A and B are shown apart, each in its own frame.
Chain A
Amino acid sequence: MHDLGGLPGSTIDRTEHQNDFWEQRVDALMRALGTLDPPLVRTDELRRAIEGIGAEAYDSMSYYERWISAITEVLLERGVISVNELSAKIAEIEEREAD
């Protein structure tokens, strides 16, 4: 979904928009992970993981949804976080938000 040169295009939305707070946090998270020495998520790993998102999912996601999805993928691959830890945290947050 990343290598689109020469394919029929659609119009580009050029209107300026404010990023949501969660989007700013995703950006900050990537910056933090990427500037560690050595990085926990490299820019090229992020790109590779974004390319790995299936075409349908890619189209349905916003820019920073793709980022957080790719960051999660790389952290799981690298064993920085586990699937169990991730699902436990998601459940915890869902419970907290439900209160």
Chain B
Amino acid sequence: MNARFAAGDRVRVREWYPPGHVRTPYYVRGKRGQIERICGTFNNPEHLAYNRPDDPRVLYRVRFTQTEVWGRAEHPSDTIDIEIYEHWLEPET
């Protein structure tokens, strides 16, 4: 499957609150990060949750600074990696 983003790309997580089963944590929605790697293509868990194994998506590991996620951080250089599917990501503007 063609990946929209490459390692190193700056992205923003969609600030999106759709109905149903969602696998992107609240605390990271709307936050800006960087693609750390492409993890591969997997069936979308948000569909699998309703027994629909029919929606392959590219999964990325995205790196955020703790400061970006929480506003302030005890160790500002610390980062957090979260695995996020492509439909949750948009290019950073």
List the interface of chain A (C-beta within 8 A of B): 3, 5-6, 38, 42-45, 47-48, 51, 78
A88 to chain B, nearest CB (A): 26
In the complex, which residue of chain A has the Cβ closest to the Cβ of B45? A44
In the complex, which residue of chain A has the Cβ closest to the Cβ of B46? A44
Residues A6 and B51 in contact in the complex (CB < 8 Å), given A44-B21, A44-B45, A47-B21: no
Find out whether the CB atom of A38 lies under 8 angstroms from the CB atom of B53.
Answer: yes
Given the complex, which residues of A lie within 8 Å of B26, measured CB to CB?
A: 3, 5-6
Find out whether the CB atom of B50 lies under 8 angstroms from the CB atom of A45.
Answer: yes
Interface residues of B in 24-57 (CB under 8 A from A): 25-28, 45, 48-51, 53
Total B residues in contact with A, Cβ cutoff 8 Å: 12
List the interface of chain B (C-beta within 8 A of A): 21, 25-28, 45, 48-51, 53, 70
Find out whether the CB atom of A5 lies under 8 angstroms from the CB atom of B48.
Answer: no
B67 to chain A, nearest CB (A): 14
Find out whether the CB atom of A48 lies under 8 angstroms from the CB atom of B49.
Answer: yes
Interchain CA distance A78-B49 in the complex, whole Å: 12
Interchain CA distance A63-B26 in the complex, whole Å: 23
Find out whether the CB atom of B27 lies under 8 angstroms from the CB atom of A47.
Answer: no
28 CB contacts below 8 A, A to B, read: A3-B25, A3-B26, A5-B25, A5-B28, A6-B26, A6-B27, A6-B70, A38-B53, A42-B48, A42-B49, A42-B51, A42-B53, A43-B48, A44-B21, A44-B45, A44-B48, A44-B49, A45-B48, A45-B49, A45-B50, A45-B51, A47-B21, A47-B45, A48-B21, A48-B49, A48-B50, A51-B21, A78-B51
Interchain CA distance A78-B51 in the complex, whole Å: 9
